[in-house]
Chains A and B, each alone.
Chain A
């Protein structure tokens, strides 16, 4: 029997190439999707309320974004590696409580207020990293699903804070609060300190993710853990470190947040896990892991707080429904990602 003519393959090949091109175009579009969304939202915000497009409002939005944004950068690593951390809001609350208790104790022992602030800030990052290490060890050595581990600690962290505060608030002593206030309220070159730190964390995060062997390993594990393991990657260590990084990010976010209110209560950091995960997902990172971007995450975080800001400034939807809008956004984006299989 003769080999059939090549004309049979040609159309199939051409169609295949067409499909590939279309897929690439779609992927590119997807990359700038969050930016387009943010631009559209800003135009809408400007049209709805003239106060929206002021420098003061922009700085306000960015400052509020910083906390979630910093956590989202850490969360981006965890999600790209194929994990998840549901506990970040509760962790922030417990870190806030712990930092205030430590600083008050140092104050009571006549430690200079500035030193108490420095020690408190260091303690926040350390505590976050330790919590992250505990998550990482339970997930890698203990072989427990990240969802279960962090769901458990979500309860443990918040309950511990509630118990420490006796259901009320843990408040920072006045002279310490005064020494600590600039961390939140001061500005350098007209830009608030938390925004600078957010920028620093994001740039550092992007550099680690895209330009170091560690970042490549994180992506390799999320893309296919088996392949990474067979390729001599230290999978357990790499995964564990994503949780440590995230914990440290939560610590940084918390140390910026504490001087804002000067207290920690059972509602501190409530639903931050939703906001941080939503920022990562809206930013175009796939929940199944493998690929994602820090830039997208930053845009996603800003986009979510712009939504909240617009809800605040206008009365189209009650601001009480802010979390519902974020929840809706996360589901909508996941729905759109579905077809990118």
Chain B
């Protein structure tokens, strides 16, 4: 049953566009068989898209994926699995109500005389669970597992499929150091077996430790392929960003000495955040760092009244306030940019002006809406925020990711808030737009707004923030001032090694 054939994968000018937005601009490189390849790039560089094309989740818009030299077109992940290519997603693809064993064999059920062979499937599941070091019974419903255990089930599922090329997208984002160690041992075993492992991660220390070579992508293009041993972490980071990091960020202003504009004490969002305290002054940029699932987004959604929450004391400008909905928050001068641009940030199929004015629509209604006033506001925002668009009469989906993000930013600034919470403001955005957004954030602070930035990219937090609060598993670990900010220190707090 176990095969030890090696599979060579190469990409030849692979192009991908979603609607008008092109995310891959002709990517070519080869994956050497039996090696661990680190795939590096910032959010939006096109790593995940390229890997989804390889593993059959997305069709390419052009170019070829070759396996052992012959071009292939997978019409779904099953076809890719048949060739030994399996991807472990960042977002889990597990059926919550089925058991671990049922999930592991979903779509590949073993049968005996036409009936499901549960005993064989359970035994095989127990075997792969031992490999990944998960001690749960194969009969446990997936719903009862915590996030890290689900990640291990995903890995076990891939092992059962007997992958020859295994793509792991941020596999350690939710794992504890112990679980991470076990995963690294497993990767070493797979490599010894001749399996090619593509390892996508933002954690450069992990890349340095377990990969043989790195491939760097930027803005949908191939940038470099190097042996890991020949690169320093600093060089990796510069390759990802495409310029010296120091050019990317505005020079920092001194941290303002003013009293807090927003002060939060004892914020608890059940299941996500416990007793978190923080405050931010006018003109200050406060970062929130943490791993995926650390509860940052959920905590702020709770603060806005979008989730059940309790708070011991909440003050804006020294006055105790209550916030039960984003509407009340906006009325108090607090607005929030969601990390989920398409699902919560913009009406992607609706026009630019309608998106822009939604949060401050009352201003344009007397009581009849004035399309001309809305259009003027859009023109002003296009100029102010540098939104690049050919026409003003297009749906938001026709803008590129970076320009959509600028529109979303302009939207949450329409009500003229005093406190803005920006959740992953540069996600899925190219380097040029990132730079624009960093300078915009600084301008907001200079205007006297209190700015909170949540980001998974530590380098950018270090680049723009006065202070960074680090969260882990729903609790505030530390709040570090600018002079203490190093990537190592942040990671140590975020993973609990401190």
Q: Chain A: residues with CB nearer than 8 A to chain B?
A: 1, 3-4, 8-9, 11-13, 16-17, 20, 207, 210-213, 216-217, 219-220, 223-224, 226-234, 290
Q: Please determine whether B22 and A9 come into contact, CB atoms closer than 8 angstroms.
A: yes
Q: Please determine whether A8 and B26 come into contact, CB atoms closer than 8 angstroms.
A: yes
20 interchain pairs (CB within 8 A)?
A1-B29, A3-B26, A4-B28, A11-B62, A12-B22, A207-B368, A212-B369, A213-B362, A213-B364, A220-B358, A229-B326, A230-B338, A230-B344, A231-B326, A231-B359, A231-B411, A232-B331, A232-B359, A232-B415, A290-B349
Cα–Cα, bound, A229→B29 (Å)? 44
Interface of A is mostly: helix
Closest to B349 in A: A223
Contacts of B415 in A (CB 8 A): 232
Cα–Cα, bound, A213→B360 (Å)? 10
Interface range on chain B (Cβ under 8 Å from partner): 35 or more
B45–chain A nearest beta-carbon distance, Å: 14
Q: Please determine whether A220 and B347 come into contact, CB atoms closer than 8 angstroms.
A: yes
Closest to B348 in A: A224
Question: Would you list the 7 A-B pairs with minimal beta carbon distance, nearest first?
Answer: A4-B26, A232-B330, A213-B365, A213-B361, A232-B326, A232-B327, A211-B368
Most B CB atoms within 10 A — which of A12, A13, A17, A210?
A12
B392–chain A nearest beta-carbon distance, Å: 15
Q: Please determine whether B335 and A232 come into contact, CB atoms closer than 8 angstroms.
A: yes
A256–chain B nearest beta-carbon distance, Å: 28
Q: Please determine whether B62 and A230 come into contact, CB atoms closer than 8 angstroms.
A: no
Closest to A228 in B: B358
Q: Please determine whether B221 and A3 come into contact, CB atoms closer than 8 angstroms.
A: yes
B69 adjacent to chain A (CB < 8 Å): no
A12-B17, A212-B367, A217-B361 are known contacts. Are A223 and B347 too (CB-CB below 8 A)? yes
Cα–Cα, bound, A9→B219 (Å)? 14
Contacts of B346 in A (CB 8 A): 227
Cα–Cα, bound, A210→B61 (Å)? 38
Contacts of B361 in A (CB 8 A): 213, 216-217
A95–chain B nearest beta-carbon distance, Å: 29
Q: Mark B72-85, 1 if CB is under 8 A from A, else 0.
A: 00000000000000
B269–chain A nearest beta-carbon distance, Å: 16
Contacts of B335 in A (CB 8 A): 232
Contacts of A220 in B (CB 8 A): 347, 350, 354, 358
Interface of B is mostly: mixed
Q: Please determine whether A233 and B13 come into contact, CB atoms closer than 8 angstroms.
A: no
Q: Please determine whether B306 and A230 come into contact, CB atoms closer than 8 angstroms.
A: yes
B417–chain A nearest beta-carbon distance, Å: 10
A213-B369, A230-B326, A230-B338 are known contacts. Are A8 and B343 too (CB-CB below 8 A)? no
Q: Please determine whether A16 and B20 come into contact, CB atoms closer than 8 angstroms.
A: yes
Closest to B340 in A: A226
B288 adjacent to chain A (CB < 8 Å): no
Known: A232-B327, A232-B330. 8 other contacts (CB 8 A): A8-B13, A12-B15, A20-B20, A212-B369, A228-B358, A230-B336, A230-B344, A232-B329
Cα–Cα, bound, A290→B354 (Å)? 13
Q: Please determine whether B343 and A227 come into contact, CB atoms closer than 8 angstroms.
A: yes
Contacts of A226 in B (CB 8 A): 343-344
Contacts of A219 in B (CB 8 A): 350
B257–chain A nearest beta-carbon distance, Å: 31
Q: Mark B94-107, 1 if CB is under 8 A from A, else 0.
A: 00000000000000
Cα–Cα, bound, A230→B25 (Å)? 33
A341–chain B nearest beta-carbon distance, Å: 10
Contacts of A11 in B (CB 8 A): 62
Cα–Cα, bound, A178→B18 (Å)? 66
Q: Mark B213-249, 1 if CB is under 8 A from A, else 0.
A: 0000000011001000000000000000000000000
Cα–Cα, bound, A280→B195 (Å)? 57
Contacts of A207 in B (CB 8 A): 368
Cα–Cα, bound, A200→B310 (Å)? 49
Q: Please determine whether B343 and A231 come into contact, CB atoms closer than 8 angstroms.
A: no
Closest to A3 in B: B221
Contacts of B354 in A (CB 8 A): 216, 220
B348–chain A nearest beta-carbon distance, Å: 8
Contacts of B13 in A (CB 8 A): 4, 8
Contacts of B25 in A (CB 8 A): 3-4, 8-9
Q: Please determine whether B326 and A16 come into contact, CB atoms closer than 8 angstroms.
A: no
B293 adjacent to chain A (CB < 8 Å): no
Most B CB atoms within 10 A — which of A4, A217, A229?
A4
B401 adjacent to chain A (CB < 8 Å): no
B168–chain A nearest beta-carbon distance, Å: 24
B295 adjacent to chain A (CB < 8 Å): no
Q: Mark B350-385, 1 if CB is under 8 A from A, else 0.
A: 100010001101101101110000000000000000
Contacts of A227 in B (CB 8 A): 343-347
